[in-house]
Structures are given as C-alpha cells and as structure tokens.
Amino acid sequence: MAYQAVFKRKEMKYLLSAQQYQQLMKELGNRIAPDDFPVSTISNLYYDTPDFRLIRASLQKPKYKEKLRLRCYKVPDADTQAFLEIKKKAMGIVYKRRESLPYRRAVNFLAGRDPGGDSQIFRELSWMLQSYQNLEPTMFLSYDRLSFKGREDASVRLTFDRNILWRTTALDLSAGTWGEPLLRPGQRLMEIKISNAMPLWLAEALAKCKIYPTSFSKYGRAYETLLWRERTMKEEVKYA
C-alpha cells in the first residue's frame, strides 16, 4: 500500500458532543467528501522513557515537542504493515515523518534488534532512539476514525475519532483494541488538518455550530488520567 511519508501542516482539535457532530455534518453538506480511507480503526503504541519524559515535556506546552509511536490500521500479525512515526510540533506547525515495516520487524527495530532501513527517516528514527536511549512502549491508544477531505480542496482534511481507548498493560498491538475510554459517551474528537489558512466555509460552519478549538492530546489526556489515579491511590493509602 502506498503511503505518504512526510507531513507538514496545521492541526486544530475540537471536542464535540453528539449533537454538535450531527449539526456540523449537516452544515458541511457537500463541502466535504469521504477521504481515500474513510473508515478505520487506528491502534498506536507510544514510546517514552519509563518516567514518561516525552509526554511530561509536551504537557508543559514548549515551543518544540516530539513523540514517537508505532501505528497499525488493524490488529496486526507479524507481517501486517506497521508505521513508525516521529511527530513533532514547532511554533504551531506539525511535522510527521514515518516509515513502514512489517509489524514484528518494526517492534524489533524499536527495541534495537532490527536494522530497519537506510532512508533519511530511518536515520532520524535511529537518532531519536539513541538520544533518549531507554525508550520503551508506555501506552496503547486506539480509536475509530471517520476521515473526510474538502471536495474542492483535498488538502483540507477533517477526522472524527470516537471510542478512544487506552491502557498501560498488554503493550502489544497484536493484543487487540481494548482499554479504558478516554471520552464521555457520544463525544468525538475532531481534527482539522490544513496546509494554509482555514477556508471560509469551514470557519463559518464552526461558528454557526458554536464549536471552538481546544488543546487535547490523546496521549497527554490518558497520562494525566493515569497520574491522577496514582495520586488518588496514594492519598487513600495515606489516610487508610
């Protein structure tokens, strides 16, 4: 399967209720069309240090931040196509660099047991692994996604994620898509991905539906939930 290896774009996130989602889709009407892969279930393994150094730094909202993840578009077996991705954000612009390997080889590459490839992106992946030295799987995240593109401008993309699940055990994508829900029932996380300015028709639809941007990282929100739970347990033990 052919895939895009390099992305540079603005990404804006919006948390929608079920009612807002229905209203927005009605407003957008024939302005959008299904993307090339309109329906998917995406599974990710996020790699971090044992003390969650990468996500802790990201949550401090620095001008530059980066993440490393392994992604599949179905529950994989050893030979399923998997994507190794570095996602960076600098001055509000998102840069994504990714390469592909069969799933088991991708896991072995990230563990230092496979040479990967000789492309520039593989060199960047290797540099990141060497720089942090002790990166390991720290969190699983999956979600069901609907993807659309602008009918007149295909560079405008909208994705809607629901059933976002996370876990910190069974950190293997082949273990299946299960975990704790991150959103309330009916909620969807919308992402608008654009290379230039937001088109007027889209801005007007958002305003009419009273939909406003929010700061939302799936990995960040799940980590904050994990941190809150650990603190709560410590408090309960302290006062038991």
Domain of 216 in residue numbering reads as 6-238
pLDDT tens for 150-185 read: 999 999 999 999 999 999 999 999 999 999 999 999
How far apart, in whole angstroms, are the C-alpha atoms of residue 87 and residue 67?
5
**pLDDT of 172:** 98
List the one residue out of 197, 195, 191 whose CA is nearest residue 161: 191
- Longest CA–CA span in the chain (Å) reads 62
pTM (2 d.p.): 0.93
Residue 175 within any structural domain of the chain: yes
Average model confidence (pLDDT) across the chain: 94
CATH of the domain at 152: 3.20.100.30
Residue 153 within any structural domain of the chain: yes
Asked whether the predicted pLDDT for residue 2 surpasses 70, the reply is no
Whole-angstrom CA distances from 238 to 2, 227, 229 are 55, 17, 14
| DSSP 8-state secondary structure symbol assigned to residue 92 | T
CB contact at 8 A, 167 and 181: no
Residue 206 within any structural domain of the chain: yes
Q: Please count the structural domains in the chain.
A: 1
DSSP annotation string for 181-235? E-S-TT-EEEEEEESSSPPHHHHHHHHHTT---B---HHHHHHHHHHHHHHHHHH
Asked whether the predicted pLDDT for residue 1 surpasses 60, the reply is no
Residue 1 within any structural domain of the chain: no
Residue 32 within any structural domain of the chain: yes
Tokens of 81: 């196509």
